[in-house]
């Protein structure tokens, strides 16, 4: 494994909402370049950029129509090159998102594939005949609602789409498709990219017999149709792994890394499976922590137990562009609890992801119905499902129009007024801010090998008290967390590296929502 990845802190940038340099209300690559000094000042090791490739934007860039060019909305290929050069000059690795489970229906590959059953790309997507009664091939449900199959009158067959109908699934079983995807990887690797984040990597291959998914036993109907099923056959098939071996061999030639996104009912097991050994993914993260609504010692104990004896390397994140921001979801927007969650993240074994605005403690934004853009949010309104609240503009300057995100009167999504008071410019002046605390945490992680790459030993996980140790190169660090509101008894001894919150009035008591990190 590339040594930098162990214990790395990777900062995710959603370009559309990071910084708009040309004043059209949409973030762009030049805007990212403008703010790279800020990102580097956090002390992170790398940036991950969500897709900025040519796209009809039905799913805001996760529907790619040209994997080897930049959508004009975000800039040009020259801007992408300049971004790589500038990031490298600042000591930042660069990771680009790759969406290979599916493409846009406007991609030339799909346009050719749908024309007939015998053209050169006829088998580049997942096609299937109708049942004798004309109904879809099986009962699979799409993530964004409705049947996962759409009828195409030209081929007189159904095509698979795990997301929107405008996002047909590539047939990654096909060696020619694999070759084309590796050519895309090679294109960006030759331009200096340090690795890829692989969107829903376990969706690449489906059951060859297209068997029905079995139903889940449910006490009440879930909000989404696909949650009625056990997803045994539409994802996480063993045939994905040989392709990952091919990808790993290519990445190793360039010294680049792979980060897989896992969406599965058994997330920890699949994370481990996809990173086992030295011929699969370099690391992977799942939604195990991203979907938690309450952080408890039991959650962390389960997460880390999933990696006991594993040769692979995990990654962890509390927020990203797909879920409710962790300050709201896990910390009730309370600054003390936000700092506690950040401390926990930075003490876990594995790579850590910060989503833009995590370092500012941004709450999940309120977006009115008439401003929703996310197709998932619109489809499931008013259930509260949707991603727009995590994607609103980044606040840079508190008293500037649109908080310094854009010179336009408005952005593609509205600015949450609460975010103004948390702007980077304000927090940069405050030694007690969440931003200052985040920088301190990252510096602590970088300065201590035990936190970066050490072993993990669970010492205690009872009620609200979580204690674990990290060890490497003769160094032992004890991490003690009170994840609840009431003081708890805890043994606190050693050289204190970080103290968060009150001690409860006694050296053997840890106050509510507090943490101690000390070296033995």
Reported as a single tens digit per residue, the pLDDT across 205-262 is 999 999 999 999 999 998 889 999 999 999 999 999 999 999 999 999 999 999 999 9
Token couple for 154: 């030209």
> Does the pLDDT value for residue 29 go beyond 70?
yes
**Superfamily of structural domain 3-103+174-443:** Glycosidases (3.20.20.80)
63 in catalytic set: no
Tell if the pTM clears 0.75, that is, is over it. Answer: yes
Rounded to whole angstroms, how far apart are CA atoms 31 and 33?
A: 5
Using alpha carbons only, what angle is made at residue 51 by residues 82 and 145, rounded to the nearest 5 degrees?
A: 170
**Contact status, residue 391 vs residue 17, Cβ threshold 8 Å:** yes
Rounded to whole angstroms, how far apart are CA atoms 45 and 24?
A: 30
Q: Considering the candidates 71, 97, 234, 263, report the single residue annotated as catalytic.
A: 263
Own/partner long-range contacts of 20-23 (Cβ < 8 Å, ≥24 apart): 20/393, 20/405, 20/406, 20/407, 20/408, 20/411, 23/406, 23/407, 23/408
Q: Where are the domains of the chain?
A: 3-103+174-443, 455-519
**Contact status, residue 170 vs residue 198, Cβ threshold 8 Å:** no
| 220 DSSP 8-state letter | S
218 backbone φψ class: left, alpha, beta (φ>0; ψ -120 to 50): beta
User: How far apart, in Å, do the first and last CA atoms of the chain sit?
Assistant: 29
Q: Considering the candidates 20, 71, 199, 273, report the single residue annotated as catalytic.
A: 199
**Superfamily of structural domain 455-519:** Golgi alpha-mannosidase II (2.60.40.1180)
Q: What is the spatial order of strands in the sheet that 149-152 belongs to?
A: 127-128, 157-160, 149-152
Alpha-carbon radius of gyration of the chain: 23
> Does the pLDDT value for residue 402 go beyond 80?
yes
Write out pLDDT tens, residues 30-71: 999 999 999 999 999 999 999 999 999 999 999 999 999 999
Q: Where do the DSSP E strands lie in 253-343?
A: 257-262, 283-286, 315-317
Write out pLDDT tens, residues 410-446: 999 999 999 999 999 999 999 999 999 999 999 999 9
Using alpha carbons only, what angle is made at residue 258 by residues 191 and 20, rounded to the nearest 5 degrees?
A: 55
263 in catalytic set: yes
User: Which residues are registered as beta bridge partners of 10?
Assistant: 46, 353
Higher pLDDT, 477 or 509: 477
Count the Cβ atoms, other than its own, within 10 Å of residue 384.
Answer: 10
Three-class secondary structure assignment of 425-458: HHHCCCCCCHHHHHHHHHHHHHHCHHHHHCEEEE
């Amino acid at each position: 494994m590339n040594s930098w990845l162990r214990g790395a802190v990777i900062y995710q940038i959603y370009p559309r909402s990071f910084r708009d340099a040309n004043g059209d209300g949409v973030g762009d690559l030049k805007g990212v370049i403008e703010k790279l000094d800020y990102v580097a000042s956090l002390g992170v090791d790398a940036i991950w950029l969500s897709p900025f490739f040519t796209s009809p934007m039905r799913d805001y860039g996760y529907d790619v129509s040209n994997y080897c060019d930049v959508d004009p909305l975000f800039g040009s290929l020259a801007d992408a090159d300049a971004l790589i050069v500038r990031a490298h000059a600042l000591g930042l690795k660069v990771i680009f998102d790759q969406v290979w489970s599916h493409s846009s229906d406007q991609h030339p590959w799909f346009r050719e594939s749908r024309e007939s059953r015998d053209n050169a790309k006829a088998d580049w997507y997942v096609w299937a005949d109708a049942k004798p009664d004309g109904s879809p091939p099986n009962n699979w449900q799409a993530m964004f609602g409705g049947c996962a199959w759409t009828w195409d009158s030209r081929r007189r067959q159904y095509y698979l789409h795990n997301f929107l109908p405008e996002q047909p699934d590539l047939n990654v079983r096909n060696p020619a498709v694999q070759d084309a995807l590796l050519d895309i990887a090679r294109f960006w690797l030759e331009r200096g990219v340090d690795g890829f984040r692989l969107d829903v990597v376990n969706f690449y291959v489906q059951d060859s017999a297209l068997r029905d998914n079995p139903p889940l036993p449910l006490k009440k109907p879930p909000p989404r149709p696909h949650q009625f099923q056990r997803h045994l056959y539409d994802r996480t098939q063993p045939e994905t792994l040989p392709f990952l071996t091919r990808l790993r061999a290519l990445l190793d030639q360039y010294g680049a890394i792979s980060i897989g996104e896992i969406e599965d009912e058994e997330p920890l097991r699949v994370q481990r499976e996809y990173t086992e050994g030295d011929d699969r993914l370099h690391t992977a993260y799942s939604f195990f922590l991203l979907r938690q609504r309450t952080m408890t010692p039991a959650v962390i104990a389960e997460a880390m137990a999933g990696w006991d004896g594993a040769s692979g390397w995990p990654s962890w994140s509390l927020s990203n562009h797909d879920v409710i921001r962790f300050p709201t979801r896990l910390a009730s927007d309370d600054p003390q609890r936000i700092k506690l969650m950040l401390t926990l993240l930075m003490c876990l074994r594995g790579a850590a992801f910060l989503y833009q605005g995590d370092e500012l403690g941004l709450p999940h934004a309120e977006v009115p119905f008439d401003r929703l853009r996310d197709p998932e949010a619109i489809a499931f309104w008013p259930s509260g499902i949707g991603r727009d609240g995590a994607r609103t503009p980044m606040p840079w300057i508190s008293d500037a129009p649109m908080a310094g995100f854009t010179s336009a009167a408005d952005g593609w999504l509205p600015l949450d007024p609460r975010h103004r008071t948390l702007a980077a410019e304000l927090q940069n002046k405050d030694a007690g801010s969440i931003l200052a605390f985040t920088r301190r945490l990252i510096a602590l992680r970088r300065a201590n090998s035990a936190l970066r790459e050490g072993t993990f030993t669970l010492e205690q996980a009872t009620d609200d008290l979580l204690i674990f140790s990290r060890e490497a190169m003769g160094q032992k660090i004890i991490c003690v967390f009170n994840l609840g509101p009431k003081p708890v008894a805890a043994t606190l001894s050693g050289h204190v590296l970080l103290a968060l919150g009150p001690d409860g009035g006694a050296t053997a008591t840890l106050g509510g929502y507090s943490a101690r990190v000390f070296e033995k």
